[in-house]
Structure 1
Amino acid sequence: MFAIQPQHKSSESKDKESTDKCIPNILPCRIHHDGAVESLNRYWTPKADPEDNNLQTAYFRGRKLRGRRVHLPEGYEGVVVTHTDREMPTTIGSETVSAEGERDEPIKVLEKQATFGDYMVWGHEMIPAADDSFVKGVEEWVKFAGVMHTVDGDEKKSA
């Protein structure tokens, strides 16, 4: 299980509440690099489609990519997190115990880096279709989660 906490800040930057917004990009490739890039504009300069602002074109290492912006449903927010080695304290005495008295898995802490309301899905040469797994996946997951968390009485009332 995971718990999301705000990013640990230095004492100088604790005064400012970080509300970084971003637009994640799902690329149709693997990049074997993790970290900052000296000149991002040299490698990544997407251009909006003049007819539809939700479509973009970019070139990455000479390959043409076409992108579709996917909006998260109203009331939902995406979160970019990083793993930490920290765990939430859930001990009673010297042992971690669940409500049923069994040993529980530790709750690992994830640090919140940024939030997003939409993301870009990219495809080689063509715009990802509306039934692309990354385009359709969030919508289907939200519907599935809604059904899972609906009580039988709530479902009948809304019908």
Structure 2
Amino acid sequence: MFGQLYEPVYLFMERGGEVLYAILGLVFILWLLVLERVGYFLFVHRSYVKAAVAEWEARSERRSWAAHQIRQDLLSTLSYELSSNMSTIKMLIGLAPLFGLLGTVYGMIEVFDVMAFLGSGSPKAMASGISKATIPTMAGMVGAITGVFAQSLLDRYIKREKIRIEDQLTFDH
């Protein structure tokens, strides 16, 4: 059963060329970081917010300039923790299509090598290079599109969570 699943993936990777392995690694790291963020939100973030709210609520006064600075420090720390790894995720999303473009150039070089060796009269001989030119482009774009979707969901959650945290750290009236 595993062989039936493995063979199409193996053929796809072979047809796409060496650059496809780099794209696979890049997308794997991208999704590892996305899952790290999801794990942080599910298992760690709530305890950080509870600790920050408890620290804020334990203050006897919350109106002075010092209290405002402490609140700002709590908000900044939580905001930093929320946004951790997001710039790396955005960078990897931007790199995925560029790696696909690299695969396109690599495959086209192979097409031109075949044309130089056999002439332009053998389309069958050029098909392998054309495949190596298009498959990495598609893989890079698919990786980037899935990453953009995940990144937009994470960004939306982070924005809502920042507002929710600010509402919890209220000033005395």
Q: Same fold (TM over 0.5)?
A: no
Higher relative contact order (CA 8 A, sep 6+): 2
- Larger Rg: 1 or 2? 2
TM-score range, shorter chain: under 0.3
Q: What is the TM-score normalised by the length of structure 2?
A: 0.20
After TM superposition, the score normalised by the length of structure 1 is: 0.21
Q: Which has the higher helix share?
A: 2
